[in-house]
Amino acid sequence: MVALSPTGYIVVSILVGLSFGIFLQKARFCFVSAFRDFIAFKDTRVLKGVLAGVFVLTIFWSAQATFGFFRGFWTPAWGLGSFIGGVVFGIGMTYAGGCASGTLYRAGQGYVQFWIVLAFMFVGYILFAFAFPVFEVHYFGRLNPFAGTTLYLQFPWSPAVTGLLAALVGLVAYAYMVGRTSLPRTPEEGPPTGTPVSAGVTHAPAFLTQIVEGLRLTVDGTVTHLRGWRADERPLKKRLRDPWDARTAGIGMAVVAAIWFWVHGHWAITGAEAQWAGWMLNQAGVDVAGVRYWGSILFIDGAITITVDMLMIAALMAGSFLAAYGSGDFRIRTPRRNRLPNYVVGGLLMGVGSRLAAGCNIANLFSGVALLSVHSFLAGFGIIVGVYVMTHWMYREVGCAI
């Protein structure tokens, strides 16, 4: 575990936030795009980046936990409430058209509609904070009765071994899904065009054949991606200006998140935004320290001040702006009026849902899954269910691929 001076923490939080913002903007990295586009069109461009980032982050964070280079696990209390909060947040972000991190980078890129989403997320945080005593008793107390834990602490061996096993399980599951969609359903159909079945696995059980074929395709795709990156003859300036591959951004964010894990803790977005909401109210003269959610939970001992994680997400927006401006992507984009209800209602649901789920997709799906938090598995599943339901509702006239 590292100890820095107050100035050192400020510098690191700004650099980490700038890095996150650049990666998010350059890859157009948004969890709504990742799941909605896969459900609606079977488009895996961003989803591959999410999976690559979580895979690398699981290995990094488990190794850091083994050697003590971290600030602590992400282990909120869990239960049915974790899942319900995730569903609410998933519905909200799909309706709004952007997740918590996607809202920040698009706001920095000049999208006025995502400033509206962000504003109503803040309204959601404020409403939740004042209603927290009721939620604490009737929601969290009853629906999340189990103490928070992580699978890293459930086994007698080191977290590094658990993390490696979890990454391998995730890889095999992904390979199974890839192989299942690439192989013929019956022997009479023959192999799909351009997708030869690996030699020696045609007489194996179907699921083993699918896993082996999926692993082959995953390796081939990774090698092709790396070769394409190395063989790119464009000038470096043009390569930096053009959009980046989501897999590159996902891995890059995993590396930056590992640094943040070492210095501060797990990467999260909406908790710091809720702190910003409290700080702004405090600046406006509201007795925020007297509101339990801010005075004793989000801030320490009622000290309503700017924290390093608040600085980090402010720097994230700045990083997005710098990346967009440097690439020529920044411009003020005004929303269509008929879409305003999406941004208002979606933002409110995201603000409240992120508090019910104790975090957004960054805290639960990107960070929490890599930390093998039981709460995050439930909340993450809820987010995916929420996206699935809302995507089918929004695309009800044309239908979805899945």
* Band of residue 196 on the pLDDT scale cut at 50, 70, 90: low
Closest by CA to 204, choosing from 193, 215, 220, 194, is: 215
What local confidence, expressed as pLDDT, does residue 102 receive?
96
Measured distance between the N- and C-terminal CA atoms of the chain, rounded to whole angstroms: 44
Q: Spell out the domain ranges in the chain.
A: 6-394
Does the pLDDT value for residue 369 go beyond 80? yes
143, two tokens: 């629906």
d(CA 50, CA 247): 7
Which amino acid type is present at position 180? R
Kindly report, residue by residue over 99-120, the tens digit of the pLDDT: 999 999 999 999 999 999 999 9
Kindly report, residue by residue over 121-178, the tens digit of the pLDDT: 999 999 999 999 999 999 999 999 999 999 999 999 999 999 999 999 999 999 998 8
Higher pLDDT, 189 or 302: 302
What local confidence, expressed as pLDDT, does residue 184 receive?
66
* Band of residue 1 on the pLDDT scale cut at 50, 70, 90: low
What local confidence, expressed as pLDDT, does residue 189 receive?
46
Instruction: Specify whether the CB–CB gap between 126 and 347 falls below 8 A.
Output: no
Residues 6+ apart with CB under 8 A from 303: none
Does the pLDDT value for residue 371 go beyond 60? yes
* Band of residue 77 on the pLDDT scale cut at 50, 70, 90: very high
Higher pLDDT, 330 or 240: 330
Length of the chain: 402
Does the pLDDT value for residue 311 go beyond 50? yes
What local confidence, expressed as pLDDT, does residue 185 receive?
54
Instruction: Specify whether the CB–CB gap between 29 and 250 falls below 8 A.
Output: yes
